[in-house]
């Protein structure tokens, strides 16, 4: 009776071997160490398309460098496949919600008030209003937005034609 898992393993290994031999341009049987590399990729769930694409990239880069000799081992390509797989996993990993660090609003508002430009008309009034804002983050944000609009209007009015 056929074992579907064994058939899947064999197909994965055979596809890697065929791609490697085709890219190499000369027949070569993979060594037992190369089979171990392919087995590890299969166990880790590295997609066959990713392996093939990365092998092609390794051979292409080597050709661009005009390197002498042929790649004679799948292990030569293993670091590139491992790096590509790590990148894919990082980009597709499920997100983890990390609690944002708490920060004190009053000191930040005081720093914002102190940073107002010296030439702003009514600077002291705006600075006092900024420093006096209290409440939840959204309330603070809304009040700062309103003050920002007011300051822009005052600054515009003070500009010369």
DSSP class per residue in the chain? ---HHHHHHHHHHHHHHHHHHHHHTS--PPPHHHHHHHHHHHHHT--HHHHHHHHHHHHHHHHHTT--S----GGGTHHHHHHHHHHHHHHHSPP---PPPP--HHHHHHHHHHTS-TTSTTHHHHHHHHHT--SSHHHHHHHHHHHHHHHHHHHHHHS--
Residues 85 and 126 both lie in one domain: no
In a domain, 11, yes or no: yes
Residues 48 and 114 both lie in one domain: no
Question: What is the share, in percent, of the chain residues with pLDDT greater than 70?
Answer: 91
Q: pTM for this one?
A: 0.54
For 49-91, the pLDDT digits (tens) are 999 999 999 999 998 888 888 888 899 999 999 999 999 888 8
Residues 49 and 128 both lie in one domain: no
Residue 53 pLDDT: 95
In a domain, 13, yes or no: yes
For 14-38, the pLDDT digits (tens) are 999 999 989 888 777 788 898 899 9
Residue 4 pLDDT: 65
Residue 97 pLDDT: 66
Which residues form the domain of 16? 4-92
Residues 62 and 39 both lie in one domain: yes
Task: Please determine, for residue 94, whether its predicted confidence score (pLDDT) is greater than 60.
Answer: yes
Residues 64 and 140 both lie in one domain: no
Our count of domains for the chain comes to 2
In a domain, 98, yes or no: no
């Amino acid at each position: 009776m056929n074992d579907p898992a064994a058939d899947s393993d064999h197909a994965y290994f055979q596809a890697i071997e065929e791609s490697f031999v085709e890219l190499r341009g000369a027949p070569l049987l993979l060594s037992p160490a190369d089979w171990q590399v392919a087995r590890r990729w299969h166990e880790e769930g590295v997609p066959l398309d990713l392996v093939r694409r990365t092998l092609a990239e390794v051979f292409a880069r080597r050709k661009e460098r005009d390197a002498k000799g042929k790649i004679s081992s799948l292990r030569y390509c293993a670091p590139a496949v491992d790096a590509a797989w790590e990148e894919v996993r990082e980009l597709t990993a499920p997100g983890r919600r990390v609690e944002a660090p708490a920060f004190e609003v009053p000191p930040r508002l005081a720093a914002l008030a102190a940073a107002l430009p010296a030439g702003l008309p009514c600077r002291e009034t705006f600075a006092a209003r900024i420093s006096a804002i209290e409440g939840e983050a959204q309330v603070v944000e809304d009040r700062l937005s309103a003050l920002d609009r007011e300051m822009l209007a005052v600054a515009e009015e003070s500009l010369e034609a």
